[in-house]
Structure 1
Amino acid sequence: MYYAVIFTSIRTETEEGYAEMAEKMEQLAKQQPGFIGVESARNEIGITVSYWESLEAIKNWKMNLDHLEAQQKGRSTWYKNYKVRIAKVEREYEF
């Protein structure tokens, strides 16, 4: 069992600094205790799903100072809106 943080968003027209910040946040997340992995895609709606070992690891990531800065910049510049969902993954399988 582990957890998924599902971040869906609709972007503004502003591109300046977004790709660099997204890359920085992915690299930083990978260094956090409890991080398992991340997947993302974007068309009209963006979706990023990060996977974590525990709710505590998710909370610690949410409170990371660099991540807090990125969240603020996202609200003020890059996103029209976004939604975060946290789900418990009880089973997985793949082909």
Structure 2
Amino acid sequence: MSLIANTPKPPYYAVIFTSHRTEGDSGYGQMAERMVELAAKQPGFLGVESAREDVGITVSYWSDLESIRQWKANAEHQAAQKLGHDKWYSSFKTRISKVERDYGI
């Protein structure tokens, strides 16, 4: 997988998930990999970028808001969200934004 998502020409949407983890892995790494694998199969998924250090940041890219709603409602994703709330995160924030412009090399 590329470190930088290969997104289409804007507009598209970004879901930005920022978190502080609790101590230990407790299955987190395996679940994170599974969620990327599962998201990649969802209609409207465009790509993902992630960095996990003191603050974890994962940005997933989507073609439209309905695709984001469907991903949030996915049963396996909801189970992972519950584990995150109960076990893996001391705090987190999700932001959804529309990408109007992008550029890079």
TM-score bracket, normalised by the shorter chain, equals over 0.9
Residues 1:59 and 2:69 aligned together: yes
Q: Deviations over 1:55-92 (max 9, x none)?
A: 00000000000000000000000000100000000111
Q: Could you tell me how far apart the structure 1 residues matched to 2:34 and 2:74 are?
A: 13
In 2: Cα distance, 1:45 partner to 1:77 partner: 16
Distance 2:18 2:86 in 1: 16
1:4 aligns with 2:14: yes
Runs of at least 5 residues in structure 2 that lack an aligned partner in the other structure: 1-10
Task: Name the % identity.
Answer: 59
For 1:50, the equivalent position in structure 2 comes to 60
2:39 counterpart of 1:39: no
Q: Which runs of 5+ in 1 are unaligned?
A: none
Q: Which residue of 2 aligns with 1:88?
A: 98
Q: Distance in 2 between matches of 1:12 and 1:77?
A: 7
**What is the alpha-carbon distance in structure 1 between the residues aligned to residue 74 and residue 100 of structure 2?**
27
Instruction: State the distance in 2 between where 1:37 and 1:19 align.
Output: 18
Letter of the aligned partner of 2:56 in structure 1?
A: G
Q: TM-score, normalised by structure 2?
A: 0.89
1:69 equivalenced with 2:79 (yes/no): yes
Structure 1 runs of 4+ off > 6 angstroms? none
TM-score (norm. length: structure 1): 0.98
